[in-house]
């Protein structure tokens, strides 16, 4: 939908260009015509939104891009229908190209872009569900964009201040759309509203010491080209906007949202709202980078849950321990260590990075860390931010930095950008792939942790089970309509203690589909690795396999799987289906049946596991990469 990712929706809006003679020139060079189309789409995307441009391209003038209007964005009820129609028109334009005549690279670009357009066409057709003020929504994204804004030149300072001064108008436009939704019975559930209001309260509590003032002042002090008088003038302008426009707009949003409490007509889950099942299906496809239905994903997840939890149990009775931890180390030292241990991955560009901790006033209570995607024309300098309140120990810091840094987001994104893909690929994000990759290499990183094999494996499994279980509960509640009682039965059927089912339920209804890119993305990559290993046996090479995963960039999993199958066949083997595919789903146990405890071995095993590690499973944490004001997912 429009606010999910401004970069993406700007690309949709590029379809406003007329459907010209491209379709009627039989003798045209198909690749040249398609690349011209992609050039136009990218240029329109950059010229439609200033923050999108600033975070995507460092030297936009060198790419013949005109600076867009200096506003943070626009939001209206009519814009959804416009975005929907523009997506329809762009899809029709893409159909004028003969895909079979495109190069292999352009076929990938074609399929990736078409998948994105189809998803956003569906979502823009359901604006009642697009809650701007959901947790980790527009308010959090605005703060991230302005605190992470980079000043390359003095012109950027004036641009920044001009855009900052439009935040209040944008928030009021979002409130108007929200009020329209609420009048139709579509609004945040109380759990989500409370989380958003807490975020607002934490942010507005700081005035003179607000991070938007402190960080801006530091940036001005670092601008050597400015005189002392010029620095002070800019600081004063920024302070005036933050104190008299920005913070009051946040306060106003909080007041108006509280007035709408109780407007939701239906249950707390997405499924409970009219049209909710259909909406969640579309959202889940976007979030997990698949075309599978909620039921199909849920069934696959259950198969892997059985295998993971059985392995988890046996690991616990080995020589593993949750008490074994890495020595204390600062974040950048950990990143350097990980960067030096990429033997199982194809070589990427040499990059630099800065890792630092967020001030609590601008740190989301559910985001452990985030990685700022660099401009496509300069991938050298990279930034990772950490929420210190949510990093519990040195083990968690290590895996968090593997997720955000190496071989996670920083490595994957800069590796792909270094291959000079078409710039349009920077516009289209497949979050299931990007977060799935980061989870997959987070799983891999435990072997580099320095812990004993037993402890590393136990903690690796604990991490994986937690993310997958959370994703499964999200799909069960928001996609399949599980009530609180049925969710408790589901957890009991897995052998878990159902006492935390209410907390789990509250979390997933407040953050629908948020965790699915992580849990289901991880699942998809593990499935592909199983497929390759089962098929190639002793000929399986992990580094070669990783290059297959990376080569096409972030893309839907149907495309990734097709690439893996070709890789297997090119190595003289026949793809052998995953061992998981023939495992029946875990039984859903009726807790009222007395003999249940004696009937199912796996649920009993998992119950023990629960007491030792998963009892806190509802405290999920997300590593969300941020790129622009409308999110990414970055």
SS3 per residue for 447-462: HHCCCCHHHHHHHHHH
Instruction: Give tens-digit pLDDT for 135-150.
Output: 999 999 999 999 999 9
Question: Which pLDDT score, from 0 to 100, does residue 319 have?
Answer: 81
Question: Which pLDDT score, from 0 to 100, does residue 314 have?
Answer: 85
Q: Which of 225-234, 440-449, 588-597 has the lowest mean pLDDT?
A: 588-597
Domain boundaries, the chain: 1-130, 132-185+190-263, 331-451
Query: Could you give the CA distance from residue 380 to residue 351 in angstroms, rounded to a whole number?
Result: 5
pTM of the model: 0.89
Going from the C-alpha of 279 to that of each of 11, 262, 298, the distances in angstroms are 22, 21, 17
Q: How far is CA 359 from the centre of its chain?
A: 22
Q: Which residue has the higher pLDDT, 623 or 338?
A: 338
Q: Is the peptide bond before 252 cis (omega within 30 degrees of 0)?
A: no
For 235-289, the DSSP string reads HHHHHHHIIIIIHHHHHHHHHHHHHTTT---S-SSGGGSTTHHHHHHHHHHHHHT
What rounded mean pLDDT belongs to the chain? 88
Question: Which pLDDT score, from 0 to 100, does residue 139 have?
Answer: 96
Instruction: Give tens-digit pLDDT for 276-316.
Output: 999 999 999 999 999 999 999 999 999 999 889 889 888 88
Q: Which helix (DSSP H) or strand (DSSP E) does residue 385 occupy?
A: strand 381-386
Evaluate if residue 2 carries a pLDDT over 50.
Answer: no
Question: Which pLDDT score, from 0 to 100, does residue 337 have?
Answer: 98
């Amino acid at each position: 939908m429009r606010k999910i990712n401004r970069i993406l929706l700007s690309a949709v809006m590029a379809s406003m260009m007329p459907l010209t003679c491209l379709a009627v020139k039989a003798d045209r060079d198909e690749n040249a015509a398609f690349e011209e189309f992609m050039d136009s789409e990218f240029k329109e995307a950059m010229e439609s939104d200033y923050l999108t441009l600033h975070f995507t391209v460092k030297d936009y003038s060198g790419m013949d891009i005109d600076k867009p209007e200096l506003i943070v964005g626009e939001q209206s009820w009519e814009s959804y229908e416009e975005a929907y129609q523009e997506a329809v028109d762009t899809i029709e334009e893409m159909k004028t190209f003969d895909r079979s005549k495109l190069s292999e690279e352009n076929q990938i670009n074609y399929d990736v872009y078409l998948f994105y357009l189809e998803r956003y066409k569906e979502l823009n057709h359901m604006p009642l569900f697009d809650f701007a003020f959901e947790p980790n929504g527009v308010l959090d994204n605005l703060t991230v964009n302005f605190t992470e804004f980079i000043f390359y030149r003095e012109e950027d300072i004036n641009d920044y201040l001009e855009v900052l001064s439009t935040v209040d108008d944008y928030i009021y436009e979002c409130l108007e759309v929200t009020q329209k939704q609420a009048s139709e019975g579509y609004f945040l559930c109380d759990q989500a509203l409370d989380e958003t209001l807490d975020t607002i309260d934490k942010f507005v509590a700081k005035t003179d010491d607000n991070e938007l003032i402190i960080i801006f002042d530091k940036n001005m002090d670092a601008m050597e080209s400015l005189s002392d008088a010029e620095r002070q003038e800019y600081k004063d302008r920024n302070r005036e906007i933050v104190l008299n426009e920005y913070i009051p707009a946040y306060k106003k949003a909080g007041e108006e949202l509280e007035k709408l409490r109780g407007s939701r007509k239906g249950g707390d889950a997405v499924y409970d709202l009219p049209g909710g099942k259909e909406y969640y299906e579309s959202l889940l496809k976007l979030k997990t980078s698949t075309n599978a239905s909620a039921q199909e994903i849920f069934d696959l997840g259950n198969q892997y849950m059985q295998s993971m939890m059985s392995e988890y149990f046996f690991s616990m009775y080995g020589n593993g321990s949750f008490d074994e931890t890495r020595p204390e180390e600062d974040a950048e030292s950990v990143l350097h260590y990980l960067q030096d241990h990429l033997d199982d991955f194809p070589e990427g560009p040499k990059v630099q990075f800065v890792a630092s901790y967020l001030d609590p006033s601008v740190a989301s209570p559910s985001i452990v860390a985030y990685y700022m995607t660099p401009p496509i024309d300069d991938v050298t300098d990279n930034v990772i931010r950490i929420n210190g309140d949510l990093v519990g120990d040195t083990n968690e810091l290590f895996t968090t930095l593997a997720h955000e840094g190496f071989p996670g987001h920083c490595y994957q994104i800069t590796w792909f950008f270094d291959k000079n893909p078409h710039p349009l690929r920077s516009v289209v994000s497949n979050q299931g792939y990007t977060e799935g990759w980061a989870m997959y290499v987070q799983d891999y990183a435990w072997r580099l942790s320095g812990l004993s094999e037993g402890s590393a494996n136990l903690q690796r499994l604990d991490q994986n089970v937690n993310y997958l279980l959370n994703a499964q509960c999200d799909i069960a509640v928001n996609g399949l309509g599980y009530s609180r009682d049925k969710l408790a039965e589901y957890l009991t059927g897995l052998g878990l203690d159902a006492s935390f089912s209410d907390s789990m339920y509250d979390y997933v209804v407040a953050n629908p589909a948020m965790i699915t890119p992580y849990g289901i993305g991880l699942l998809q990559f593990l499935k592909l690795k199983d497929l390759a290993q089962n098929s190639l046996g002793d000929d399986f090479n992990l580094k070669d396999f990783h290059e297959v995963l990376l080569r096409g960039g972030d893309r839907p999993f149907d495309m990734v799987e097709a690439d893996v199958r070709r890789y297997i066949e090119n190595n003289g083997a026949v793809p052998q289906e995953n061992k998981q595919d023939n495992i029946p789903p875990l039984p859903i146990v009726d807790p009222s049946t007395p003999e249940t405890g004696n009937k199912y071995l796996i649920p009993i095993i998992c119950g023990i596991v629960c007491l030792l590690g998963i009892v806190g499973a509802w405290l999920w944490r997300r590593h969300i990469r941020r790129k622009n004001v409308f999110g990414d997912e970055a």
